[in-house]
Amino acid sequence: MKRTIKLIIYFIAYQLAFSSFPAIAYMLRTHSFEMPLATDETYIFQTLLCSLLASLAVIIHLIAGRYVSLNRQNFSPLSVSLLITCVLFVTGMGMWSNYLNELLGVSMSPQLQQAFEMLMQHPLGIISTVIMAPVVEELLFRGAIEGHLLRVWKKPAYAIIVSSLLFGLVHGNLVQAPFAFLLGLALGWIYYHTGSLLPSILMHFINNLTATLTYHLSGDPDTTLTETFGATGALCIALGGIVLTILCVWIIRSRLITQPAAWVSTTPTSDNTI
């Protein structure tokens, strides 16, 4: 676990370090110690740019530190049938998880809602959410963390659960964390069976793209499934999502991947890297 903890610390440290730059630049520009307003356009641009740079720094660190390799094993080409099934898999999860959030009454705080809207309303925010987040988070949580744990732990389930828990916790809020954990289980399960990061990156991309499109195409981003389709319609969508999720798991496990990828135990060496 030493390597896993170290990677999480690196990830958080990069986020904190880069996020401090816009505030410092604002103070230097205004010759004051006042924090910038969230509506300041220059500050928003710098914040989102630094977020992208932080993600890029994490990717470079993971590759340069040899925590994850850009080799054929991690990015092995897979069948079109498997990739399509993975897309349907994550789509089905989104259908029932959104309904579950509604039943539990989970909602964003005003601060979190403001941050989410800032992301969704700026091109850099969309790039960060839809493109950079799936890449950097899959390289870290599936490739560097889960991949390592799969090789050194005897029970694959533990590696999948631990990486998923960490994936949920780093989102830092009660709205996203539960679904992030469930999504992490699905992504981790796919990675365990395929040995490739391509399906998990694709599923993560589809999940974030769907959330982004829903925000921009809906008349009111705060509208729930029940308000849009009625109680019966929302329930049918959720049940359909459950059926689709189970069906995709069955197809992947029994038709597309009959044996999980080979995870050879090796002596970990990355604890000696930076």
Quote the CA–CA distance of 274 and 257 in Å, as a whole number: 36
Distances from the Cα of 161 to the Cα of 100, 149, 191, 202, 260, angstroms: 21, 11, 13, 20, 17
pLDDT at 272 (0 to 100): 61
Mean pLDDT of 252-264: 89
pLDDT tens digits, one per residue of 13-51 = 999 999 998 888 878 877 777 776 666 788 889 899 999
150-158 long-range Cβ contacts below 8 angstroms, 24+ apart: 150/192, 150/263, 151/263, 151/264, 151/265, 151/266, 151/268, 152/265, 152/266, 152/268, 156/192, 156/260, 156/263
Q: Which residue has the higher pLDDT, 25 or 85?
A: 85
pLDDT tens digits, one per residue of 205-254 = 999 999 999 988 886 777 888 988 999 999 999 999 999 999 999 999 99
Percent of the chain past pLDDT 70, that is, above it, reads 95
pLDDT band with cut points at 50, 70 and 90 for residue 57? very high
pLDDT tens digits, one per residue of 103-131 = 888 777 777 888 888 889 999 999 999 99
pLDDT at 109 (0 to 100): 76
**pTM above 0.75?**
yes
pLDDT band with cut points at 50, 70 and 90 for residue 268? very low
